[in-house]
């Protein structure tokens, strides 16, 4: 079969190959560069020259109104013998931007970091689900929210402005988690499912970069263990302070979950749902003449952490409906974190093998 026919077959089976979008054009060049490797593992284009050219072409010399004018540089100075990366941020037109090819910076990671932060949008969906007798996921309730990728994180407990570098982990934080996830209650036979879909500006390209679930039993076990530990600590502190210490009466606990196959992790605020608490919150809301539409429940918050495991990926989902019971847990996702290379690998796999990659389970 001649090369021209092979290329036509590839384009027919992969719609991304014929796209003219900037993001897909960049992926095409990256994949093409990989294919230029010889049997000895050498690359025909010098690595630094290739990545700096890519950076200049798609970020430094492009003024896209949909992109931020900030550029992110991954600094790994070999002279310091320190492998811990640092992120330098400059405006596109700044005279302080590092020179292209500066050996103090990792240009491969610099390109990929800007790709993740600048050229993609992310939709996070959190849902309450069960599996039917055929193993199909049944969605009882779901909420979707646009989230933003960041190489840094801040303390969700205090919701303060201070942030710390998290790179090489990329954080997708939900700062207003207590306002967004107001009606996601998981019962004893249900699970909480989380999915993040990355897409380009025109939604010509979509890739599932995170999908997992955790059941009621695991969440309740982690919640109970943390609550018991906190109660014991509060009693001891009260005793040692001769009653002067007043512990926080909140029952919300923050549970940290490891992602599927150990890739990434997520944190979820958990609280017991009771109809008595629901009625009390509803009465208080009525007295304060707050909005009568939507969920009027209110819970005090205190944040701790525990660990649990996220289950495997989910098959195609269908919808159903179910009311919360007295044994429900109120769940509020606070963030999902993934290493940058895991995001990039999923993007490249979706580009090269769109028919073989993971499909959205919770829908758009």
Which pLDDT does position 362 carry in this prediction? 85
Look at 222 and 278; give whichever has higher pLDDT. 222
Q: What are phi and psi of 282, to 5 degrees?
A: -65, -40
Q: Among 77-86, 122-131, 353-362, where is mean pLDDT lowest?
A: 77-86
The 10 Å Cβ neighbour count of residue 119 is 23
Q: What is the pLDDT averaged over residues 303-309? A: 40
pLDDT beyond 50 at 293: no
Q: What is the mean pLDDT of residues 170-193?
A: 90
| Residue ranges covered by each domain of the chain | 3-118, 121-352
- Measured CA to CA, the distance from residue 249 to residue 233 in angstroms comes to 13
Q: Which residues pair with 317 in a beta bridge?
A: 137
Nearest CA-CA partner of 262 in 347, 178, 185, 338: 338
Looking at per-residue confidence, does 99 or 305 come out higher? 99
In three-state secondary structure terms, 358 is: coil
Q: What is the pLDDT of residues 114-148, one digit of tens each?
A: 999 999 999 999 999 998 888 888 999 999 999 99
What is the model's pTM?
0.78
Residue 22 binned pLDDT confidence (cut-offs 50, 70, 90): confident
Q: What region, left, alpha or beta, does residue 268 occupy, with left being phi > 0 and alpha being psi -120 to 50 degrees?
A: beta
User: How far is residue 207's CA from residue 324's CA, in Å, rounded to a whole number?
Assistant: 32
- 154-170 pLDDT, tens digit each: 776 666 567 889 999 99
Average pLDDT over residues 103-119: 94
Task: Please tell me which of 54-68, 199-213, 241-255, 322-336 the model is most confident about, judged by mean pLDDT.
Answer: 199-213
Residue 337 has pLDDT above 90, yes or no: yes
pLDDT at 14 over 70: no
- pLDDT of 21 reads 78
Average pLDDT, the chain: 76
Query: Quick one: how far is CA 152 from the chain centroid?
Result: 13
Of residues 34 and 234, more confidently modeled: 34
pLDDT at site 110: 96
First to last CA, the chain: 39
- Among residues 157, 142, 67, 159, the alpha carbon closest in space to that of 364 is found at 142
Q: What is the mean pLDDT of residues 82-102?
A: 88
Percentage of residues in the chain having pLDDT higher than 70:
65
Report helix, strand or coil for 224.
helix
pLDDT at 357: 80
pLDDT for the residue 298: 26
CB 193 within 8 A of CB 212: yes
Assess whether pLDDT exceeds 60 at residue 53: yes
């Amino acid at each position: 079969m001649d090369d021209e026919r092979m290329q036509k077959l590839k384009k027919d089976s992969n719609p991304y190959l014929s796209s003219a979008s900037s993001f897909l054009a960049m992926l095409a060049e990256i994949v093409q560069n990989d294919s230029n490797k010889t049997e000895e593992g050498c690359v025909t284009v010098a690595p630094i020259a290739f990545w700096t050219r890519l950076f200049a072409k798609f970020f430094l010399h492009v003024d896209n109104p949909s992109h931020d004018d900030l550029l992110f540089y991954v600094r790994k100075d070999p002279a310091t013998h320190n492998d811990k990366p640092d992120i330098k941020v400059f405006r596109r037109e700044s005279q302080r931007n590092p020179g292209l090819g500066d050996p103090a910076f990792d240009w491969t990671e610099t390109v990929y970091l800007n790709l993740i932060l600048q050229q993609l949008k992310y939709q996070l969906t959190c849902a309450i689900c069960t599996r039917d007798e055929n193993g199909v996921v049944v969605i009882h309730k779901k909420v979707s929210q646009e989230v933003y990728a960041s190489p840094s994180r801040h303390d969700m407990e205090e919701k303060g402005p201070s942030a710390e570098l998290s790179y090489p982990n990329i954080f997708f934080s939900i700062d207003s988690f207590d306002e967004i996830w107001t009606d996601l209650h998981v019962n004893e036979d249900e699970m909480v499912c989380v999915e993040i879909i990355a897409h380009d500006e025109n939604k010509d390209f979509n890739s599932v970069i995170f999908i997992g679930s955790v059941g009621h039993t695991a969440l309740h076990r982690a919640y109970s263990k943390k609550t018991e530990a906190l109660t014991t600590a509060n009693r001891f502190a009260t005793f040692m302070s001769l009653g002067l210490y007043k512990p926080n009466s909140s029952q919300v606990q923050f549970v940290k979950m490891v992602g599927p196959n150990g890739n990434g992790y997520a944190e979820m605020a958990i609280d017991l749902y009771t109809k008595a608490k629901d009625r009390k919150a509803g009465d208080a809301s009525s007295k304060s003449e707050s909005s009568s539409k939507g969920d009027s429940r209110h819970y005090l918050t205190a944040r701790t952490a525990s660990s649990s495991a996220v289950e495997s990926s989910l098959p195609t989902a269908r919808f159903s409906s179910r009311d919360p019971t007295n044994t429900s847990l109120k769940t509020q996702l606070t963030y999902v974190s993934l290493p940058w290379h895991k995001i990039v690998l999923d993007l490249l796999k979706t580009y090269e093998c769109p028919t073989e990659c993971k499909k959205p389970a919770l829908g758009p």
